[in-house]
Amino acid sequence: MSTLNPPGAADSGQSDNDGMRYLDSGMRRLVTVYLPLTVFMIVLLFPFYWMAITAFKPDHQLTDYKNYSPFWVWDPTMRHINYLLFETSYPHWFWNTIVISVAATAIALACSVFAAYAIERLRFTGSRYVGLGIFLAYLVPPSILFIPLALMVFKLGLYDSPFALILTYPTFLIPFCTWLLMGYFRSIPFELEECALIDGATRWQILTKITLPLSVPGLISAGIFAFTLSWNEFIYALTFIQSSENKTVPVGVLTELVRSDVYEWGSLMAGALFGSLPVVILYSFFVEHYVSSMTGAVKE
Amino acid sequence: MQKPNAIAADAITAGAQPPARSWLSKALEGRNTLGGLFMLPAAAVLLIFLTYPLALGVWLGFTDTTIGRPGQFIGLENYEALWDDTVFWLAVFNTLLYTSVASVFKFALGLWLALLLNERLPFKAFIRAIVLLPWVVPTVLSAIAFWWIYDAQFSIISWALIQIGLIDAPINFLGDATNARASVIAANVWRGIPFVAITLLAGLQTIPQSLYEAATLDGASSWQRFRYITLPMLTPIIAVVMTFSVLFTFTDFQLIYVLTRGGPVNATHLMATLSFQRAIPGGQLGEGAAIAVAMIPFLLSAILFSYFGLQRRRWQQGGRDA
């Protein structure tokens, strides 16, 4: 029972107290729980619904609300999607985003595993302050860093190259992943490592043979989060990338599909829809994963 | 879950100490070298691409660097210029307004949604997964959807309100100063609610049911249970969530850049978007950096506020700060 009504209250004979009445009245529950929840769900989901149906609407239905109800599509068309796939650089952007996100995530994960293990388990002198520093690094927003980074990227000759993004994304991924993995390592019992130490294992063996296999769920969570964050990144990609074929999906959709006079809402929405799908799909795996890691994958 | 483990570990270490001297001392010797070695990759990336740019940004704020020309040190001139710049002060005002209004709504609605999700519901897991969608989807892409929803002529909201009979003409969502501010705040709240709600939901589930049982036996109303149990127990997590929410709202860039680019007539320019506009399209890197640096005091005070708030909280609850 995870609700507010305590089961014990029924035995106490106080069946007329407020808590019980609150639950027993179906009508009241409808008004206080289901109605607001429905409104929340509709408001939270409507933009996606609108995005999805606009992507399939023929142009003449797009703005003709008199003859076609705007909330549905008659004769859905693939024209916008065809346009997106074959007449724009969208496939390029999509590929770029995948490459950049995967590379940045890999770098960030590799760095974070060692950092988190060192801070959380080796507990070297001053590890607490390093941990705090990592946390503070997470709080430094990209909107403060992009100007000096743009200058650096330019000086390093990385301007307009995917490496500019692959190298800069870890700045916000590493603090986040380290922080997440520190929490995860903390949940792995000390005893396992101590047994291994007694048996003569080195720290490296402990990390690769004990800690990492046990933290696979944590690594996957960190990886998915890092991938999503890289996929969603905008300000660096907007600043450091110039040429159309090197852009990422969010930047490409916004800067290349919008022409000054005519808004191609159909293909814009299709671009937004397909740009959102990978993270949504990944995330739907993550939800189950999250649940399983919460219920205690490591209970030894 | 944490405590018993730690105690058990302590007990084992204590028991195992005498025979284990040799490996323990060896491990202690290697601890700092190994720790340093393990920290190296992360530290290198963060120092080169985070700490150095942060310092470089502060330095740039004191120079007249433009794109393609290294700048000269000009002292506080950028800041003096900003001090007399009405657009800058408008951006500061907008940022504070945007952050405060959006945070209040995100907190109130997020807490409400968390309480609703904490009820007994059918398809609970599915509903929770759906609720998180606005937070998962790239901000720029959902902002583009909002852009279309806020269209001056074909806005679906205007159309619906006209059908109901509440208004006669389409609302000019992004063309009018007040409307534009309200519209971008609404879009930001829409995106921020799920994060607040799901985090607070996690907090709600850690509150022991026995507290509610005891309160109900004592005749507490549902409002009293919320006010005297839920809210105090939730305070630490509320502090963390709202600090993050305030920081990310304050430094927001994407939503404004997509929806209004700071318009109409700078009415929705935030400090981040103004900094971008002056630095990248405008080419005035020094001035843009100065605007970005001007955000730091605000961020720092928000962080310190929550840090010391949390510290006190932890001490009150008798926990040691690990």
**pLDDT tens, position by position, A276-297:** 998 888 887 776 665 444 433 3
Verify that A249 and A110 share a domain, yes or no.
yes
B208 pLDDT band, cuts 50/70/90, is: confident
Residue A300 domain-assigned (yes or no): no
Verify that A93 and A68 share a domain, yes or no.
no
Q: What is the CATH number of the domain that holds A97?
A: 1.10.3720.10
3-class state of residue B145 by DSSP: helix
Verify that A254 and A167 share a domain, yes or no.
yes
pLDDT number for residue B192: 92
The β-bridge partners of A46 are none
Determine what percent of chain B is predicted with pLDDT higher than 70.
Answer: 87
User: Which domain, by its residues, includes A213?
Assistant: 84-294
Do A174 and B42 lie within an 8 Å CB cutoff?
yes
The CATH number given to B77-316 is 1.10.3720.10
CA distances from A122 to A126, A241, B52 (A): 11, 40, 27
Verify that A151 and A186 share a domain, yes or no.
yes
Residues 21-40 (B) with a CB less than 8 A from some CB of A: 23, 27, 30-32, 34-36, 38-40
Do B222 and A22 lie within an 8 Å CB cutoff?
yes
A160: left (phi over 0), alpha (psi -120 to 50) or beta: left
CA atoms within 13 A on the CB side of A99: 14
Helix ranges restricted to H, chain B: 2-46, 52-60, 77-83, 86-117, 124-131, 133-136, 139-149, 156-164, 177-204, 209-217, 222-225, 231-250, 254-259, 271-279, 285-316
**Which residues of chain B are within 8 Å of residue A179 when distances are taken between CB atoms?**
none
Considering CB atoms only, which of A8, A48, A125 is closest to B32? A125
Residue B31 has pLDDT above 50, yes or no: yes
Q: A138 touching B, CB under 8 A?
A: no
Do B136 and A280 lie within an 8 Å CB cutoff?
yes
B239 pLDDT band, cuts 50/70/90, is: confident
Suggest the residue from B137, B151, B301 to mutate for an interface test with chain A (most A CBs closer than 10 A): B137
Considering CB atoms only, which of A130, A139, A178 is closest to B303? A139
Verify that A242 and A187 share a domain, yes or no.
yes
- Tell me how many domains chain A contains: 2
pLDDT number for residue B15: 45
Q: A201 touching B, CB under 8 A?
A: no
Residue B20 has pLDDT above 80, yes or no: no
Residues 22-61 (A) with a CB less than 8 A from some CB of B: 22, 33, 36-37, 40-41, 43-45, 47-48, 50-51, 54
Q: A164 touching B, CB under 8 A?
A: no
Q: Which two tokens stand for residue B242?
A: 């709202």
A161-220 pLDDT tens trace = 999 999 999 999 999 899 889 888 888 888 888 888 888 888 888 888 888 888 888 898
Residue with tokens 């529950």: A29
Residues 87-106 (A) with a CB less than 8 A from some CB of B: none
Stretch A109-125: mean pLDDT, rounded? 89
Residue A14 has pLDDT above 50, yes or no: no
Verify that A53 and A89 share a domain, yes or no.
no
Residue A235 domain-assigned (yes or no): yes
Residue B46 has pLDDT above 80, yes or no: yes
Verify that A66 and A179 share a domain, yes or no.
no
Contacts of B223 by beta carbon, 8 Å cutoff, 6+ apart: none
Stretch B123-136: mean pLDDT, rounded? 84
Q: Which two tokens stand for residue A173?
A: 């991924």
Suggest the residue from A4, A202, A295 to mutate for an interface test with chain B (most B CBs closer than 10 A): A4
Do B212 and A189 lie within an 8 Å CB cutoff?
no
3-class state of residue A160 by DSSP: coil
Q: Which of A229-238, B203-212, B303-312 has the lowest mean pLDDT?
A: B303-312
Suggest the residue from A45, A56, A97, A144 to mutate for an interface test with chain B (most B CBs closer than 10 A): A144
A73-111 pLDDT tens trace = 777 888 888 888 888 889 999 999 999 999 999 999 999
Verify that A13 and A42 share a domain, yes or no.
yes
Verify that A128 and A45 share a domain, yes or no.
no
B76-109 pLDDT tens trace = 888 998 999 999 999 999 999 999 999 999 999 9
B146-171 pLDDT tens trace = 998 998 888 888 888 888 888 888 88
CA distance B46 to B204: 35
pLDDT number for residue A18: 44
Residue-range domain boundaries for chain B? 1-60, 77-316
Stretch A32-49: mean pLDDT, rounded? 90
Measured in angstroms, the CA of A244 and the nearest CA of chain B are apart by 17
B22 pLDDT band, cuts 50/70/90, is: low
Residue A2 domain-assigned (yes or no): no
Verify that A140 and A104 share a domain, yes or no.
yes
Contacts of A186 by beta carbon, 8 Å cutoff, 6+ apart: A120, B2
B257-296 pLDDT tens trace = 999 888 788 889 999 999 999 998 888 889 999 999 999 9
Residue A253 domain-assigned (yes or no): yes
pLDDT number for residue A210: 86
Q: B277 touching A, CB under 8 A?
A: no
Residue A155 domain-assigned (yes or no): yes
Query: Residue B70 gets which letter from DSSP?
Result: P
Q: B76 touching A, CB under 8 A?
A: no
Considering CB atoms only, which of A47, A119, A238 is closest to B145? A47
Residue B315 has pLDDT above 70, yes or no: no
Query: Residue B71 gets which letter from DSSP?
Result: P
Three-state SS for A231-276 is HHCCHHHHHHCCCHHHCCHHHHHHHHCECCCCECHHHHHHHHHHHH
Stretch B189-217: mean pLDDT, rounded? 89
Q: Which of A3-12, A96-105, B173-182, B262-271 has the lowest mean pLDDT?
A: A3-12
A261 pLDDT band, cuts 50/70/90, is: low
3-class state of residue B12 by DSSP: helix
Stretch A221-225: mean pLDDT, rounded? 88
Burial tier of A259 (Cβ tally within 10 Å: 0-12, 13-18, 19+): exposed
Verify that A203 and A64 share a domain, yes or no.
no
pLDDT number for residue B312: 59
Suggest the residue from A20, A93, A143 to mutate for an interface test with chain B (most B CBs closer than 10 A): A143
Verify that A104 and A173 share a domain, yes or no.
yes
